[in-house]
Each structure stands twice: as C-alpha cells, then as structure tokens.
A = this chain, B = another copy of it.
Amino acid sequence: RKTYRIAVIPGDGIGKETVPEGLRVLDAAARRFGFDLQLTHYDWSCETYKRTGRMMPPDGLDRLRESDSIFLGAVGWPDVPDHISLWGLLIPIRRGFDQYVNLRPCRLLPGVRTPLADRRPEDIDFYVVRENTEGEYSSVGGRMFEGTEREFVTQESIFTRQGVDRVLRYAFELAMTRPRRKVTSATKSNGITLTMPYWDERFAAMARNYPEVRTDQYHIDILCAHFVQHPDWFDVVVGSNLFGDILSDLGPAVAGSIGIAPSANINPERRFPSMFEPVHGSAPDIAGKGICNPIGQVWSGAMMLEHLGETAAAQAILRAIEALLAEGGPRTRDMGGQAGTAEVGKALAEAV
C-alpha cells in the first residue's frame, strides 16, 4: 500500500475553508483506490506573520522538502502587504523548489455558465503553461532620487536560456500528449524589444525539435482578445511569468468561473515537491462564511494525485466534479447556487 506524504498549508481566508473540502475528497479517493495520504498540517499564514513576524519559520522550506507534494489553499490578507505575505510564503516555495512550470487547465465544463455567448464545452479546452520562477517577477531594481521630482523606480525582467527552454520544452511535451498538438506562444516582441524577441527565438528553436507540433504566436494584447473571441483556437498556451499569470486568470474567467480553476506548480524533474493550489485567492470579502467554492481546491487535489501517479483516482475526482456540475448537483453562490462549501465538498467525496 503506497503512502504519500502531503504538506497541507491552508493559508489565509477561504483557503481555510476550501482545504478541508479538498482533503475530504482526497481522503475518499485514497480509500477507494487503496493508497494512504500522510498529512502534515502547517498553519503558516498572515496570522503567523502577525504573531511571529514571519510567514513561515526560517526552516520552513526544509520541513516541506520531506513531503511528496504540497497542498496549498490561498495566501494573503488585507492587513499584511502582499510583498510580505506572498513573498514570504508562496513565491519562496515556487522558487525554492524550482517549480518552474505553473500549469493551469482552462475548460468549460458541461453545466457551467460561461460569460461568452454561444460557447459550448468543446470550444474551451486548453492549458496555460506559465513560467514560474523568473521573467518579470525579479528582485533586481530599485528606487532613486526618493521623495523628489526626479524620483524613479526600475525593475528588471530577466530571462535565462535555461529558464526559458525548460518551460517551453514542458509545453511542447504536453502538446505531444494531446490530440491537437498545438502550442501557442504569448509574446510582446513588438513593444518589449529586448527580452521578448529572445523568448521568440527560443520558442522557434524549441519548435524545431517537435516537427509534429503546430505552433503559432500572438502578442499578449491581441492574445487576450482572442481568448474572448476565439477560445477554440487554443490547445497549449505558453507564456512568461507575467503573461502566463494574466492568461491563466483570463482563461478560467472565459470558461465560466475562477472558483473552480486549479493549478499545479510543478518541478518536473521531481527533485523537489510540487505544489497544488486553486487559482483563486483568499477572497477576504466572503471568507469565514462557509459559502466559497471548493471545486478549485478539489480539482487541484486531482492534479496532485495525477502528479503522484494515482491517475485513476485523479480521474475519479474529475469525473465527480463534471457530474456534479452537469447534473445540477449543489453549487455555491458564485455559480448561481445556494449551497455551502461543505455541502459541495461532501457531494464530491460521496461521488468519488
């Protein structure tokens, strides 16, 4: 009987409500498919910060390193600045564990209402592959002439050959597993003329290794427009840290609900644990009310099982989500229903 060690970090806000439901469904899957999840809970959050002055203890990463995967809720709270909360917990994990792929499926599931007119599930089914360690999220730069009229700030975007190539390779490999075998690159080489042409260059070089994969590329401005006007054009979309971030919020919005969107922060070489978290944030406006949507968290759990090799269990969770949505099962307010978080979680666990 296989045992997986899972580090559980509910984090802030609705993370504390969605993670228990995620675990409920994971537990059901473990029982049905015959494996064990050995959970270690970490209460690292903005509350930890307010108590201790740190989002996580100094040896936080070392503790997490022992686990097979990390199951995260959400990080951030209004009374703690983002550069402390996110850069004290989320970003250090992504970087420290070289989770250089942020993978986000965008699918219109049957039974979900999309804000787009006349779109059906077969029209929206793609992945956003986001570079997750470098690019626009750099720590190089600063401020000069502070407090004067001459004041200015700078921040460098940094793209390394290694960093770009490995995420592009992941995108092409992913496309090879899909029937349409297509990769779209997000660029902006007409405006951001030093880094983005390099991205294009590496994309073209990588494409030569995959003659079976069709490719195209769009500047990020028109690509966002195409997500709305032609979501059916896309199969695998690869972008930098910032562009991937934008596209992987826009994609789920187009597919109906950010509340159900999952994500995986992956270290493909498995030298370090990967981390699974919903796309949504801590949602202070609805936190503590038991009304948030747990599906993004549950689906993230399915991605975790897939990554751990429990493919059948992952599929069962996904089928449970699809069935619940398609067959009018309980749904939370963001999806036009009245159900509470736990009610949806229970229904999914039972279905599994």
Contacts and interface: CB of A to CB of B under 8 A. Distances in A.
Interface of A: 76, 82-83, 86-87, 114-118, 136-137, 139-143, 148-162, 188-195, 197-198, 220-222, 224-226, 228-229, 241-242, 245-246, 248-250, 252-254, 258
Given A115-B229, A221-B249, A192 B242 contact: yes
Q: Which 4 A-B pairs have the closest CB atoms?
A: A225-B253, A82-B190, A221-B249, A155-B194
A192 B82 contact: no
Contacts of A87: 193
Given A114-B117, A190-B83, A154 B157 contact: yes
7 contacts: A139-B193, A151-B160, A152-B161, A154-B156, A191-B241, A191-B245, A221-B250
Would you call the interface of chain A mostly helix, strand, loop, or mixed?
A: mixed
Given A159-B152, A160-B151, A137 B225 contact: no
Contact of A143 (B149, B154, B188, B198): B198
A161 B156 contact: no
B153 A155 contact: no
Contacts of A193: 82-83, 87, 137, 139, 155
Contacts of A148: 161
Contact of A136 (B149, B191, B198): B191
A334 to B, nearest CB: 10
A192 B249 contact: no
Contact of A142 (B118, B136, B194): B194
Contacts of A155: 156-157, 192-195
Contacts of A248: 221
Contact of A195 (B153, B191, B258): B153
A40 to B, nearest CB: 27
Nearest to A134: B152
A162 B252 CA distance: 37
Nearest to A113: B117
A46 B189 CA distance: 17
A190 B116 CA distance: 29
A193 B88 CA distance: 13
